[in-house]
Structure 1
C-alpha cells in the first residue's frame, strides 16, 4: 500500500477539490528558512533518520574539482547500502513508484536499483532563496492555471496548495541564468544497438536573470536554440524555441531550420503530444525536461508526499570518462551506473480532461521536495495500462549552484525500447556563464547562424 505524508489538511483538500488561486500568509511564508528550507522542503530528517536534515546542500564544490572541469563525484567512497531486485521487491514495494515496480518485474534480473545513503545536495544561490520567499507572498495562478502572475526567478509556490502549483514549481524552477552545453540522445533498438544524435544546446533563461521582472521579460520563461552536429545526415538542423509563461494567451514560438531545404520554418505543433524530434516516437514533446508547456490538457490532483527511492546524485552517469557505450544496454540503461536514494517527493496525478486528445490518459509525477525537479513519472494509455516510465538522473552542478538533470530516459514497456537524452559524456562541462544576449535568440539570428 502506498503511504502518503500529507503536508497539512488544507493542501490535501485543495489538491482534491480543484484549482485554488492564492498566495500564503506572511506567517506561513515565515516558515521558509526555518522549519522549511528556503524552497519549501521539510528541513528536518525523517522519523527513521534515513533522510537527513537539510544543511544547505552541496553549496561548495569538492576540493579536487576545478572550474571548467566536468563535475567529479563528491562521494567517491559511497557504496550501495543494498540493491533492489525482482527477488527482494516485496521488501521495498511501499517505497517504490509503480513504474519502478513494473521495471523490476518486466526486466528481471538485469534491471536492479542500487540504493545509496541519502544526501540532500540541492542548493541554489542566495538570491534564489530570497525570491522564493517573495514569490510565496505574491504568486498566484492565472485563470484555469494556465500561467502564473507576480512571480520571478524560481518556483512560484514554495508552499503549494494544489497539484498545478507543484507542476508550475517544476516548470519555473531555477536552472541558472544561461547555459551552453553539448549532449547526445539515442533510441536504442531492442538488441541495444544505437545511433547517437548530438546537439549543442544554448539556453537564455529570461525569467531567472538577476533583476528581471514580469514586465521586462515579455512573458518569456526562456529562449532555447539547438544545433545538430551529428550524424552528418542531420548536421546543421537548428531548432529555436521561445518558451512563454502563459502559453494560452501567447503560445510557445518555435522554428526549425532543415539543412536539406535551407529554410527556417515555424513549427506550430512543437508541443503537447507531438513526437519529440529524433525520439523514434518513444517520447512526446511535453516530456522533454520531464514535463514542459501549458498544463491545460489535464486535471491535476495533489496526492501528498511519499518517501520513495528515486534517482539522485547521478555523478557516475555524469563522469567525464563514461561513454554512451558504457551507459546504453538492451531495454534499459546500465543500472550499475545509477544511484537511488530515499527522498521525500510530492506526488501529483494528471488525468486527461474530457474532450481533450492526448496519447497519455493519465500521468503520475514524483517531484523532489528539495529542488522541485520531477524525478520520475508514469504514463498510462487510454485503456488505463502503464505504458511508459520516465526517469531524471540529476546532480548538483558546481560552477553555478543548480540541481538539474544530467540524463533523462523514457522507457516504453510495450515496445521494450527507450529514449535517452543527456549523453554528454566526453563533452566539455556545462557552461553557466557563456555571455549570451537575448537578441542572439531571434528568428533572424537563427537564420544568420544557419548560413554560416
Structure 2
C-alpha cells in the first residue's frame, strides 16, 4: 500500500467521531500534513533540520548482490566511516542525545566503555503486505478494557500513531518479525572477570498473528508459539520449553511447559511471566525482559513521554557476524564495543510506573522505541528506591531477504552486580525464516515426543 493511502486511511480514522479508537482527532489541515509527513509505520518521513537524520526512502529494498541464502548478511554499509566515539570524557558534548542508562554505562565502565557513532541509515523496511495491514490496523485497532489486549488488529503493530504509552507498548509486542523463524544461538552470563559457560539453544517460532490471510478469530488468542531446546552444556542438554503466547494475557494467561532431562515429563510452568527470573539468566534478567519487553502490560501505568533523538544500536551487521564466536564479543563487565554501531535516530520514549499494590523487581521502567520499526532498542529499569539498576540494549539488523528488522544480539547490564546477560552468541548459521513449520508441531503432545527423542 502506498504511503498516501495509509495516511489517508489514518486521516479518515482520526476525523471520525464514531470509531471508538484511541487515536487523537485531527483537523483537515493536520490530516493533509500527515499525508506528506508519515511513513507506513507512522514514523516521520523527513530528516531533521541539522541533516544528521536523513529522510526515510523506503529502507533496504534491494538484496545486496553478495548475499547468499542461508549465509550471514553482508553489511550494506561496510564502507561507512565512524564519525566519532563517545566516552566518559566527552559525553557532556553529546548529552542531549544520550539516555540516562547510556550515561551510566559510560561513567561506571570508564575508560573502556565507548559508544562508536556512524552515519544514520534508515534501513528499516517490510513487505508490502505488512504496510497494507498497518493501514488496516490504523482504521480498526482498539485497546481492550484496561489495555490488556487489542481488538481488530492482525500481522503487525496496531497503532501507527500512538496516543498513549500502552499503545506504543503494544506496537512493540505485535510488531512484524516474520511468519516463522528457526535459529541456534547461545546465552552467556559472564562473571566479573569475563569467564563464561555458553548455553547453546535451538529456537523455533511460529508467529500465528502474522500468518498471511489469518483472521483475529482464527489465531485463538495466540500471538506466537515458541519452542526452545538446549543443546549444551551436557547437564542441561535436552531441556525443552514450549510457550503459547497469548494476545490477552489477563483473560487467557501465557501457557508454558518445560521438559527437563532426567524427569521425562513435560510439566506446566505457571509462573513464567512478569518479574520472575528469566531461566538461565543467573537472576540478571526477568522473564518480561525477553525481547526487551513482553507479556501483559497491566502491571504498570504507561506514560508516553514523546520523541527525542538518541544514539541507538542500529545496522549491527558487524556484531552479527562476530557473534558466531562468543569470545570475540564477551569481555569483562561489558561487551566488545568495537563491534557495535550506534546511529542517531528518533525514538519514542515511554515510562512505566508500577501500579499501587502490585509487586515487581522494577518500580519504574523506561523504554525507547525506534520510530521506523517499533522495536524497543534501549531500556532502563529502576529499583524501588528510584535508583537505575539495569540497562538493556537490542542490536538490530534488517534481514533484507524478507525484509524484516529484528535483533541479532540482546543484552542487559546489571549495574549493581557489574555483570551482564547476553543472548545471540555462538550462532550456528543465520535465522531461517522459512522452516515450514506446521502449527501442530507446537502442541504439548508434539513437544513431548520431541523431548523424548
Task: Give the TM-score taking structure 2 as reference length.
Answer: 0.93
Matches within 5 A, 1:355-366: 355-366=357-368
* Deviation by residue 1:158-213 (Cα, 9 ceiling, x = unmatched): 01100000000000000000000001111000000000001100000000111011
- Is the CA contact (8 Å cut-off) linking 1:29 and 1:137 kept in structure 2? no
* Structure 2: unaligned runs, 5 residues or longer: 1-19
1:144 corresponding residue in structure 2: 146
- Is the CA contact (8 Å cut-off) linking 1:318 and 1:424 kept in structure 2? no
Change (3 A) 1:445 1:411: same
Change (3 A) 1:24 1:438: farther
* Deviation by residue 1:120-169 (Cα, 9 ceiling, x = unmatched): 01100000000001101110000110000000000000011000000000
SS in 2 for 1:446: helix
Q: Distance in 2 between matches of 1:294 and 1:240?
A: 18
SS in 1 for 2:425: coil
- Is the CA contact (8 Å cut-off) linking 2:184 and 2:200 kept in structure 1? yes
* Deviation by residue 1:242-264 (Cα, 9 ceiling, x = unmatched): 00000000000000000121110
2:219 corresponding residue in structure 1: 217
How many aligned residue pairs are there? 432
- Is the CA contact (8 Å cut-off) linking 1:221 and 1:244 kept in structure 2? yes
Change (3 A) 1:404 1:32: farther
- Is the CA contact (8 Å cut-off) linking 1:389 and 1:410 kept in structure 2? yes
- Is the CA contact (8 Å cut-off) linking 1:188 and 1:417 kept in structure 2? yes
1:438 corresponding residue in structure 2: 439
Q: Distance in 2 between matches of 1:418 and 1:30?
A: 47
SS in 2 for 1:422: strand
Q: Distance in 1 between matches of 2:39 and 2:33?
A: 8
1:6 corresponding residue in structure 2: none
- Report deviation, 1:365: 0.1
2:14 corresponding residue in structure 1: none
> Structure 2 residue aligned with 1:121, among 120, 123, 134?
123
1:22 corresponding residue in structure 2: 22
* Deviation by residue 1:367-414 (Cα, 9 ceiling, x = unmatched): 000000000000000000000000000000022101000000000000
Q: Distance in 2 between matches of 1:431 and 1:224?
A: 14
- Is the CA contact (8 Å cut-off) linking 1:346 and 1:369 kept in structure 2? yes
Q: Distance in 2 between matches of 1:424 and 1:371?
A: 26
Q: Distance in 2 between matches of 1:21 and 1:394?
A: 31
> Structure 2 residue aligned with 1:97, among 96, 99, 113?
99
> Which is worse superposed, 132-141 or 69-78?
69-78
- Is the CA contact (8 Å cut-off) linking 1:376 and 1:392 kept in structure 2? yes
- Report deviation, 1:315: 0.6
Matches within 5 A, 1:49-448: 49-319=51-321, 322-425=324-427, 427-448=428-449
Q: Distance in 1 between matches of 2:381 and 2:299?
A: 14
- Report deviation, 1:327: 0.1
SS in 1 for 2:105: helix
Q: Distance in 2 between matches of 1:221 and 1:228?
A: 23
Q: Distance in 1 between matches of 2:321 and 2:67?
A: 12
SS in 1 for 2:37: coil
- Report deviation, 1:80: 1.0
- Report deviation, 1:67: 1.3
> Which is worse superposed, 398-407 or 234-243?
398-407
- Report deviation, 1:61: 1.8
* Deviation by residue 1:34-61 (Cα, 9 ceiling, x = unmatched): 4200010000011111100000001222
Change (3 A) 1:320 1:110: closer
- Report deviation, 1:70: 1.2
Q: Distance in 1 between matches of 2:31 and 2:286?
A: 36
SS in 2 for 1:421: strand
Change (3 A) 1:371 1:378: same
Change (3 A) 1:29 1:67: farther
Q: Distance in 2 between matches of 1:21 and 1:391?
A: 32
Task: Give the TM-score taking structure 1 as reference length.
Answer: 0.93
- Report deviation, 1:424: 4.4
How large is the RMSD of aligned CA atoms in angstroms?
1.5
Q: Distance in 2 between matches of 1:31 and 1:62?
A: 34
SS in 1 for 2:135: helix
